[in-house]
């Protein structure tokens, strides 16, 4: 814990993903005392990168895409090397995660250091309280109180909920015991996130990987995409591919042991790419229970509830058209501006 936990903050932002971090940046820029709380050991949430043998591999979103000038300016401010236009070599005619990702007006790029470079840059200078999982929330004496695993309590005048939809709903249920709260809950419960089972696979440096950056197979119900992660790393010494399973396939296997669906996905990879693809040197399996929303699941702005003297703001990809990272950033940005007024 990096902060004195008895202090009453102006605002606590629960969730250090792109939405929560951008909201906190806006608030801090307006002179508001804001603390960002996250259960993870680093900021970024679903905008996730892991390093294997010194080589980063993305396993949430694989590239940035968008057209909003503010969002693109924030992306442009990320330090380090970038790969403008990645993915340039796209194979297959399957649907990408976000339909607008390949629209002619969209800018696309990746970071050599991995996608987590973006939230890392947003987190710069913010007060973060990491490895802190909130388990309940309530209102006491005109302040919001969050209770963490282990019993520590955090206090704030206002609260921002910036987590995946299914992680946000229990807090709205606990805090929003008013007409406004109940109607917000009704709206939120109309939507749902889809899962995504993911395999990162490392191969011998002698393997020649396919000549695409991303492949969206149109004829494989199990696979949403395959990504050549090594093509983002100009100095890569090992060969890394990533396989993201489709939502339907993931849903059916969500509760099965990781090894089982991991093996199945590699068999499918071997069938498509050759036997070498089914026999990596190492794998890392990740179960995204709440990966993203469907394109149609979108509202036009962040939600705000008034409970006693406190305000509860809700941000995330649901609250801006288009979904995905840009929507998460925009919703956090708008909510931060609104709460700072
Ligand atoms: C596999 C995959 C592929 C994707 N592909 C794309 C794509 O191509 N294009 C695109 O634009 N978007 C894509 N997305 C979606 C994009 O990553 C998300 O829309 C965006 O990152 C959401 O940001 P967020 O800040 O709203 O939420 P998150 O990033 O989920 O942040 C929420 C944070 O809250 C924390 N948290 C949750 N519960 C608690 C708790 N109780 N206590 C404390 N902390 C808590 C979590 O640890 C997390 O850090 C993809 C996502 C995944 C997983």
Residues of the chain with CATH 3.90.660.10: 53-114+193-293
| Ligand 1 pocket test target in 42, 45, 133 with most atoms within 8 Å of CB | 45
If you average pLDDT over residues 20-49, what whole number do you get?
Answer: 98
Dist. CA 275 → ligand 1 center (Å) = 33
Dist. CA 204 → ligand 1 center (Å) = 31
Dump the DSSP string for 12-70. EEE--SHHHHHHHHHHHHTT--EEEE-SSSSTTTTS-EEEETTEEEE-S--SEEE--HH
Alpha carbon nearest to ligand 1 atom 53, residue: 291
CA distances (Å), 177 to each of 14, 53, 305, 316, 319, in order? 19, 49, 10, 21, 21
Alpha carbon nearest to ligand 1 atom 41, residue: 134
Reading the block at residue 191, the tokens are 């939507």
pLDDT per residue as tens digits for the range 101-111: 999 999 999 99
Q: Is the pLDDT of residue 177 over 80?
A: no
Instruction: List the CATH code of the domain at 8-45+120-191+297-340.
Output: 3.50.50.60
Using the structure block, give the residue that is written with the tokens 């694989």.
Answer: 62
Q: Is the pLDDT of residue 329 over 60?
A: yes
pLDDT per residue as tens digits for the range 222-266: 999 999 999 999 888 889 999 999 999 999 999 999 999 999 999
Please give the CATH topology (third level) of the domain spanning 53-114+193-293: Polyamine Oxidase; Chain A, domain 2 (3.90.660)
201 burial level (CB within 10 Å; 0-12, 13-18, 19+): buried
Say which DSSP state 178 is in. Answer: S
Dist. CA 60 → ligand 1 center (Å) = 8
pLDDT per residue as tens digits for the range 182-220: 888 988 999 999 999 999 999 999 999 999 999 999 999
Using the structure block, give the residue that is written with the tokens 């990987």.
Answer: 209
**Average pLDDT along the chain:** 94
pTM for the whole structure: 0.96
Dist. CA 39 → ligand 1 center (Å) = 13
Alpha carbon nearest to ligand 1 atom 11, residue: 324
- The whole-number pLDDT of residue 200 equals 98
Q: Which atom from ligand 1 is nearest to the alpha carbon of 316? A: 26
Alpha carbon nearest to ligand 1 atom 4, residue: 61
If you average pLDDT over residues 306-327, what whole number do you get?
Answer: 92
Reading the block at residue 300, the tokens are 């036009």
Residues of the chain with CATH 3.50.50.60: 8-45+120-191+297-340
Alpha carbon nearest to ligand 1 atom 33, residue: 15
* 49-54 own/partner pairs: CB under 8 Å, 24+ apart: 49/113, 49/114, 49/115, 49/116, 49/117, 50/200, 50/284, 51/114, 52/200, 52/202, 52/238, 52/240, 52/282, 52/284, 53/202, 53/237, 53/238, 54/237
- The whole-number pLDDT of residue 97 equals 86
Alpha carbon nearest to ligand 1 atom 50, residue: 61
237 burial level (CB within 10 Å; 0-12, 13-18, 19+): exposed
| Ligand 1 pocket test target in 35, 43, 60, 196 with most atoms within 8 Å of CB | 60
Dist. CA 193 → ligand 1 center (Å) = 11
Percent of the chain with pLDDT over 90: 83
Residue 221, by phi and psi: left (phi above 0), alpha (psi -120 to 50) or beta?
alpha
Dist. CA 48 → ligand 1 center (Å) = 8
Ligand 1 environment, Cβ below 6 A: 14-20, 37-40, 45-47, 60-61, 97-98, 101, 133-134, 162-164, 167, 196, 198, 244, 288, 291-292, 316-317, 324-325, 328
- The whole-number pLDDT of residue 182 equals 83
129 with 72: CB under 8 angstroms?
no
pLDDT per residue as tens digits for the range 280-314: 999 999 999 999 987 666 688 888 998 889 999 99
- What does the buried/exposed string (b/e) look like for 215-236 if buried means 16 or more CB atoms within 10 Å of the residue's CB? bbbeebebbbbbbbbbbbbeeb
Dist. CA 170 → ligand 1 center (Å) = 17
- The whole-number pLDDT of residue 295 equals 64
pLDDT per residue as tens digits for the range 128-160: 999 999 999 999 888 999 999 999 999 999 999
């Amino acid at each position: 814990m990096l902060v004195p936990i008895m202090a009453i903050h102006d605002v606590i932002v629960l969730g250090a993903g792109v939405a929560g971090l951008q909201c906190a940046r806006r608030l801090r820029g307006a002179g508001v005392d804001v603390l960002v709380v996250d259960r993870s050991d680093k900021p970024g949430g679903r905008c996730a990168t892991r390093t294997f043998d010194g080589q980063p591999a993305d396993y949430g979103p694989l590239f940035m895409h968008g057209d909003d000038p503010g969002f693109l300016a924030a992306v442009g401010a990320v330090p380090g090397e970038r790969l403008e236009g990645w993915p340039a070599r796209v194979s297959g005619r399957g649907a990408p995660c976000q339909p607008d990702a390949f629209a002619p007006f969209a800018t696309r790029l990746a970071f050599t250091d991995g996608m987590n470079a973006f939230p890392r840059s947003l987190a710069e200078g913010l007060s973060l309280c990491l490895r802190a999982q909130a388990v309940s929330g309530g209102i006491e004496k005109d302040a919001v109180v969050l209770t963490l695993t282990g019993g520590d309590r955090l206090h704030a005048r206002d609260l921002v909920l910036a987590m995946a939809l299914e992680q946000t709903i229990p807090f709205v249920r606990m805090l929003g015991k008013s007409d406004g709260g109940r109607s917000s809950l009704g709206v939120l419960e109309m939507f749902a996130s889809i899962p995504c089972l993911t395999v990162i696979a490392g191969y011998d440096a002698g393997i020649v990987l396919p000549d695409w950056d991303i492949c969206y197979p149109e004829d494989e119900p199990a696979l949403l995409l395959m990504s050549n992660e090594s093509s983002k790393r100009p100095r890569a010494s090992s060969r890394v591919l990533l396989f993201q399973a489709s939502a339907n396939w993931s849903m059916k296997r969500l509760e099965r042991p990781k090894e089982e669906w991991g093996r199945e996905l590699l068999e499918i990879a071997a069938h498509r790419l050759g036997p070498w693809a089914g026999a990596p040197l190492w794998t890392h399996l990740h179960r995204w229970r709440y990966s993203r929303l469907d394109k149609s699941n979108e509202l036009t702005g962040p939600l705000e509830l008034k409970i006693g003297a406190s305000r509860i703001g809700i941000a995330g990809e649901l609250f801006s058209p288009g979904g995905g990272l840009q929507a998460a950033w925009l919703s956090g940005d708008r909510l931060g501006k609104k709460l700072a007024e």
